[in-house]
Amino acid sequence: MQKKQNPFELEKGIHTDFQEEMSYTSYLQLDKILSSQRRLSNHHDEMLFIIIHQTSELWMKLILHEMEAAIQCILDDDLEPSFKMFARISRIQQQLIQSWGVLSTLTPSEYMEFRECLGHASGFQSYQNRLIEFALGQKNIHVLPVFQHDQHIYEQLMRALHAPSVYDAAIKALAVRGLSIDQEVLQRDYSQNYQPNASVEKAWLTVYRNVDRYWDLYELAEKLVDIGSQQQIWRYMHMTTVERIIGYKKGTGGSSGVSYLKKALDRPFFPELWTLRTKL
């Protein structure tokens, strides 16, 4: 039966339901998205460069959306919903890893045709990448001055710097389940980069040696290992792609380029989840 319209709405021309008028293009705001690829040169390959980085930022936005919810689930001692979120994050990371392969089709000569147009713009300035690193537990206050020109972004990064990472949340979950964690870890300054701790490694070892008893904590640990390793693969692909295109030149934003990216590979996420494997 067809729904009767309110006579008052008919008289005033008021519409309360826009679903029938909604289109694919308007729902996704494709006019905004597809008009955002503004080349600063006439070089064909600049379009590739722009789209790879724009889509990467969209995927990063989804990672942060999922990560924020997962951290809250863990802090609420409701671990199972976070597992789906971590599984999704891992799949997104795979998409990001594959994107480096597409970008690597850009040759050094092609990139040099439009590199000067970028000015000081650099992937080093990706605030969402910094937010992901902060969420994974690698805090670095020294990167923040890069973002001081944008007050909104700067404040967002400051909040993330002082918020518990996903690993801080996981360690609190260990303590909630009665596993002994040093108070200096539980009450640590979240703005500082996480440092390995013997009590945390011992607690994780207990989990891995008693899987049936601590199944959800064990599953949480393995999900973290998964996203931590995927992030390291992303870093490696980033480094090799940059090396392939510009060698050891400095980055456009003034960073040391490949040298900086290689150092990042020496900083794994969730350290005790790696060291415990030798002791099992």
* pLDDT tens sequence across 89-148: 999 999 999 999 999 999 999 999 998 888 777 777 899 999 999 999 999 999 999 999
Q: Is residue 37 part of a domain?
A: no
Considering the chain, what is the average pLDDT of its residues? 91
pLDDT of residue 7: 47
Higher pLDDT: 111 or 13? It is 111
pLDDT tier, 52 (very low <50, low <70, confident <90, very high otherwise) = very high
pLDDT per position as a tens digit, 176-233: 999 999 999 999 999 999 999 999 999 999 999 999 999 999 999 999 999 999 999 9
Contacts by 197-205 with C-beta closer than 8 Å and gap 24+? Answer: 197/272, 200/171, 200/174, 200/272, 201/272, 201/275, 201/276, 201/279, 203/171, 203/174, 203/179, 204/174, 204/272, 204/273, 204/276, 205/276, 205/279, 205/280
CATH number of the domain enclosing 177:
1.20.58.480
- Domain range for 82 is 46-279
pLDDT of residue 1: 46
Q: Is residue 136 part of a domain?
A: yes
Q: Is residue 130 part of a domain?
A: yes
Query: What token pair was written down for 212?
Result: 């049936």
pLDDT of residue 120: 74
CA 184 to chain centre: 27
Give the Å distances, CA to CA, from 171 to 69, 73, 85.
17, 13, 18
Q: Is residue 17 part of a domain?
A: no
C-alpha angle 99-230-47 in degrees, rounded to nearest 5: 15
Q: Is residue 137 part of a domain?
A: yes
Q: Is residue 119 part of a domain?
A: yes
Q: Is residue 135 part of a domain?
A: yes
Q: Is residue 39 part of a domain?
A: no
Count structural domains, the chain.
1
Q: Which one, of 137, 125, 231, lies nearest residue 189 by Cα? A: 137
Alpha-carbon distance of 103 to 261, in angstroms, equals 17
Q: The pTM is what?
A: 0.89
Alpha-carbon distance of 163 to 84, in angstroms, equals 22
Alpha-carbon distance of 269 to 180, in angstroms, equals 21
Mean pLDDT, rounded, for 239-260 = 77
